[in-house]
């Protein structure tokens, strides 16, 4: 255990976060996301699994260490509801509050359809899967600089 680092941040996750540079993206997802399959395509190349952790709890811990990119319009992407792209799920508002609070400013979130989200996830640096049951708890965070 290290002082000042949230207990939800394990060794593998802190290692991945430290390797990431400005503009790299981190996928934070629920248990329903095909994370293992997609993780093979990422820069990190393997899944970071945070078993027993809800998505909001993981986001809270990560966002204490992870600055969001200020050079893009929407540094957070989320998955749209299939068949109803305008529908708002509770997890969308929950994550919006977390990123706004972490950055101390309103953060724009871009919605992607399911398959566009999967393709974007493959281009990310790493995938962090939580035990959150979802649904639609799938987000991509673009790293900024401090």
Catalytic residue among 24, 30, 49, 69: 69
d(CA 43, CA 61): 22
Q: Check if the beta carbon of residue 122 is closer than 8 Å to that of residue 38.
A: yes
Catalytic residue among 24, 49, 118, 136: 118
The verdict on whether 24 is a catalytic residue reads no
The verdict on whether 69 is a catalytic residue reads yes
The verdict on whether 41 is a catalytic residue reads no
Q: Classify 98 as helix, strand or coil.
A: helix
How many CA atoms, within 13 angstroms, populate the side-chain half-sphere of residue 7? 3
Catalytic residue among 22, 24, 33, 41: 22
The catalytic site residues sit at 22, 69, 118
């Amino acid at each position: 255990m290290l002082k000042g680092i949230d207990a939800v941040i394990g060794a593998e996750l802190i290692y991945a976060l430290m390797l990431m540079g400005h503009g790299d993206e981190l996928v934070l997802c629920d248990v329903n996301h095909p994370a293992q399959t997609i993780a093979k395509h990422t820069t990190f190349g393997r899944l970071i699994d945070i078993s027993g952790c809800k998505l909001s709890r993981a986001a809270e811990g990560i966002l204490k260490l992870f600055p969001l990119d200020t050079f893009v319009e929407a540094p957070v992407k989320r998955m749209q509801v299939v068949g109803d792209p305008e529908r708002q799920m509770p997890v969308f508002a929950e994550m919006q509050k977390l990123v706004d609070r972490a950055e101390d400013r309103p953060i724009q979130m871009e919605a992607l359809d399911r398959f566009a989200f999967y393709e974007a996830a493959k281009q990310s640096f790493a995938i962090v899967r939580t035990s959150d049951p979802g649904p639609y708890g799938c987000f991509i965070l673009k790293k900024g600089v401090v």
